[in-house]
Structure 1
Amino acid sequence: MSKLELGAFSMSLAVRDLYVSSEFYQKLGFEVTHEGQGYLIMVNGTTVIGLFQGMFEGNILTFNPGLCAKNDSEGALLEAWRVDEFTDIRAIQKHLKSLDLELVSEVDEKKNSNGPGSLMLQDPDGNVILVDQFFDRPDTSVQ
């Protein structure tokens, strides 16, 4: 694998109060683009953050294989969309293991050989990194 493609990036923030945090980030120019049970996705220009209440502890750097961000000519985020060809989570996992990186959690390839999946690892400073694939394995996984 010559270059590891992890997909769209966002910052997932663990918050105590979704409403209070949403109000704060709106004052910084963020807009809510998606809302779900216990979470909000917010965008400001090219920056995407997720606010999550009661789902996990600590903040997480998040990558989504199969998603790509489209920006306008000034760099502002227009939309994120699914791409047909992307590096499958299982190929990413295999590559990370080949580099002797320790995974905090991983895709169980015996139980899940084609579907969505996720893995987690920590950087040397303890920052959590989540690679979270929402989609089935692409027909032609980039290896």
Structure 2
Amino acid sequence: MNLGAFSVSLAVKDITVSKQFYEKLGFIQIGGDVEQNWCILQNGEHIIGLFQGMFEKNMLTFNPGWDQHASNLDTFVDVRDIQRYCAQQGLTLLSEVNTESSGPGSFMLEDPDGNPILIDQHR
């Protein structure tokens, strides 16, 4: 099952300091708004999201419907289908997307070590 674009979402203490650090490693901002305490940085195929005051922990993020350049895919597995599959596999969901809705939606789960995983569809 293709989960879409992959990134690491980092819970940062000071978004400006973190952004400057990752820019020194060659990352450039491709999205978000530092004034709103979030931004998305990319270096080649690698994507990092910086979020100040939004999440308690760092998390793995997958975006159904997007490729690694945040471009829309022609076909993709909808977040509701991914959620249904995860539930059928016996995985515990921490939050759920409304299965009666369509379009954007997200749900969360954790891996066995407590690492949060966000499946976040933007379209």
Structure 2: segments with no counterpart, 5+ residues: none
Is residue 13 of structure 2 the alignment partner of residue 16 of structure 1?
A: yes
Is residue 42 of structure 2 the alignment partner of residue 59 of structure 1?
A: no
What is the aligned partner in structure 1 of residue 119 from structure 2? Answer: 131
Structure 1: segments with no counterpart, 5+ residues: 70-78, 136-143
What is the aligned partner in structure 2 of residue 107 from structure 1? Answer: 97
Q: For residues 38 and 83 of structure 1, what CA distance do their matches in structure 2 show?
A: 28
- TM-score of the superposed pair, with normalisation by structure 2: 0.93
What is the aligned partner in structure 2 of residue 45 from structure 1? Answer: 44
Number of aligned residue pairs:
121
What is the aligned partner in structure 2 of residue 89 from structure 1? Answer: 79
- TM-score of the superposed pair, with normalisation by structure 1: 0.80
Cα deviation digits, residues 16-71 of structure 1 (max 9, x gap): 111110111111121112232211111112110010111111101000000012xx
Q: For residues 113 and 120 of structure 2, what CA distance do their matches in structure 1 show?
A: 21
Higher radius of gyration, 1 or 2: 1
Higher helix share: 2
- Amino acid across the alignment from 1:55: M
Q: For residues 79 and 30 of structure 2, what CA distance do their matches in structure 1 show?
A: 25
